[in-house]
Chains A and B, each alone.
Chain A
Amino acid sequence: MEAEARSKKGSARAVGVCSVAFLVVMMVFTIYPILYTVFGSLKTNAELTSGGSFFPKEWQFQNYYQAFIQADFIKYTWNSVILAVSTMVLAVVTCALAGFILARRDFVGKKILLALYTSMMFISLGSVTLYPIYQLLQKLGLHKNIAGLIIALTGGQAVNVLLVMGFVKGVPKELDEAAIIDGCSIYGVFGRIILPIIKPILAVVALFVFRNTWNDYVTTLIMTISNKGMQTLTVAVVQLKYSVNAAAEWHIMLAGASIAIIPILIVYLLCNKQFIAGLTAGAVKG
């Protein structure tokens, strides 16, 4: 009996040691590339390519100066901020309106719309759909315009509309009815009753749309073909890979990469709970 208890204790300890070792390995695995980016951005190109130490020998802050001034990253940063904020606002407003009405009213065509929105989760033609969007924007004269880029980046938002709809459905209908009896119009119900209640889910939508736009590569790359001045940090950084002296500019690439990831890191530090909670709100509902 005693021996059994001891062996049980022993095996529990073994499991514990293995768990800790596994956890440490995984944490190093996930963090290392990010630390490499940040520390690498402060090294010289020679130090980077010849395999120096993990930390920079001398901190080369002029890499950032070079990235911001010579590689024009001030402009790209500005573009990234403008686009991320605009798509975020547009997505939140449109999803809130559509999600609300889909949850609360029956109207002509609603069934078809719902079927179409839902089917978007299963139909994926991938990035080739950017071409017809681009062509359409060109016909409308928006392909060189930031408005066109915002439209393309925001996209249909089908998943988020359904997410908001699900959330509104969880709000008791009696609240709406009471407001209507008090003389509220549907606009009043939305603005005064529902909007304040659904703020948490709108925050989730905002956070994820902001992140997606900030990080987006393919859509922004295609939609800025005819106006490279609208490129974002993400696109501009990756384009450094194809510059003529790429082999001599690792330090600039990493400085650029750091400039692109540090803002999102800050957002993450401020709201990592919301990121993690938002993920499960979106995915694991059934």
Chain B
Amino acid sequence: MKQQVSTEHKRVVLKRNLESYVFMLPNLVLFVVCSIYPIIWTLKYVFFQYGGIGTGNPKWVGLENLARVFRDEVYWKSVINTFIYGFGKVILIIPLAFFLALILVKQTKFNSFAQSMVFLPTIMSSAVMGLVFYLLFNAYNGEINQYLLNAGIISRPINWLGKEHAMKTLVITAIWGGVGNYMVYFIAGIQQVSKDALESAKIDGAGRLQTLWYITIPMMGPILKIILMLSITSAFNDITNVMVLTEGGPNNATMVMALYGYKYFFPVSASESVIPQYGYGAAVSVVSAVIAGAVTVIYLRLSRKLDDVY
């Protein structure tokens, strides 16, 4: 009798597990093919020299690829560029988005119109708009220089995509594409600040700026933490914009680490051809992922304070 119950129980458990996997399977297949398998593949090829199908078998090289990454000056330049890009983007986009949110937080007709206008760039393809910016920022025929020249602000055309300014131009376009996102996050954050706190501040006679500084901003700590986190991690992954607008150039002035790894797999522009070095590219990408991960962990450590809401 007992035996029977337990086999019956086993059958039910088996059935429940099978049912569960019927639900999981469609997504699981995609997840394994597109997420898990490529990671394992990349980790494996860190230790191989491999030029792709038709170039002979992958050759085991041990830690040689990783050692080469650490000697590769252009790679470390790209790491520094990534930090400059990320820092420039975050330091500008956060205050801009915050002020926009402060101004637009009240739900009026005009504000919701303004919100959708500022949010508009975030739904655009960064590749297509990268091409548009490429035309706009063109040194000789671009409309930006023409306006600046006509207005007398500059006397000679600025070479926006030249060595000196290309990184600034990239940051400008990144702000264009992202400020609406962060504005929406901030609006959500401001709306969560408790009405009671604001009310009592008002009763105590605090002015608008005082309320902002002493109540709203401190109370937004936890949400600010998430917003900063998102902006930092996304800065490490921006690649499309760089690819289309500057292709990492001129002379690696805007080469970021995500694009540097990519370069060993695929041509960055259609006018370029590459001899793939999959092993080395894999090593570059893994080191980059570790750097990005380390920054995230350090940030989370440092930002613990933001969780202390009064």
A interface with B by C-beta (< 8 Å): 8, 12, 15, 19, 22-23, 26-27, 29-31, 33-34, 36-37, 40, 48-51, 90, 93-95, 97-98, 100-102, 105, 107-108, 110, 113, 116-117, 120, 122-133, 135-136, 151-152, 154-158, 161, 186, 190, 211, 214-218, 222, 233-235, 237-242, 250, 253-254, 257, 260-261, 264-265, 267-268, 272, 275-276, 279-280, 283-284, 286
Among residues of B, the one whose C-beta sits closest to the C-beta of A214 is B125
Contact of B208 among A15, A90, A113 (CB under 8 A): A15
Contact of B128 among A29, A36, A93, A215 (CB under 8 A): A215
A97 to B24, alpha carbons, bound, how many Å?
7
> In chain B, residues 121-155, which have Cβ atoms closer than 8 Å to a Cβ of chain A?
121, 123-136, 141, 143, 146, 150
Are the C-beta atoms of A158 and B184 separated by less than 8 Å?
no
A154 to B34, alpha carbons, bound, how many Å?
9
Asked if B42 CB lies within 8 Å of chain A CBs, one says yes
- B286 to chain A: which residues have CB within 8 Å? 125
Are the C-beta atoms of A284 and B141 separated by less than 8 Å?
no
- A40 to chain B: which residues have CB within 8 Å? 135
**A101 touching B20 in the complex, CB below 8 Å, given contacts A51-B143, A215-B128:** yes
Contact of A158 among B35, B102, B243, B266 (CB under 8 A): B35
**How far in angstroms is the closest Cβ of chain A from B227?**
8
A40 to B114, alpha carbons, bound, how many Å?
24
Are the C-beta atoms of B293 and A116 separated by less than 8 Å?
no
Q: Could you show 28 A-B contacts with beta carbons less than 8 Å apart? A: A19-B102, A23-B114, A26-B118, A30-B121, A49-B141, A50-B141, A51-B143, A107-B24, A116-B36, A117-B31, A125-B38, A128-B285, A131-B278, A133-B33, A136-B37, A156-B27, A157-B27, A157-B31, A186-B19, A211-B123, A215-B127, A216-B125, A237-B127, A238-B127, A253-B131, A261-B128, A276-B115, A276-B119
Among residues of A, the one whose C-beta sits closest to the C-beta of B119 is A276
Contact of A101 among B23, B103, B176 (CB under 8 A): B23
B69-77, B196-204, B233-241 - interface stretch: B233-241
Are the C-beta atoms of B127 and A217 separated by less than 8 Å?
yes
Contact with A along B1-37 (1 / 0, CB 8 A): 0000000000000001101110110111011011111
**A127 touching B278 in the complex, CB below 8 Å, given contacts A30-B118, A107-B17, A211-B123:** no
Contact of A272 among B116, B281, B288 (CB under 8 A): B116
- A267 to chain B: which residues have CB within 8 Å? 123
> In chain B, residues 149-207, which have Cβ atoms closer than 8 Å to a Cβ of chain A?
150, 176, 179-181, 184-185, 188-189, 207
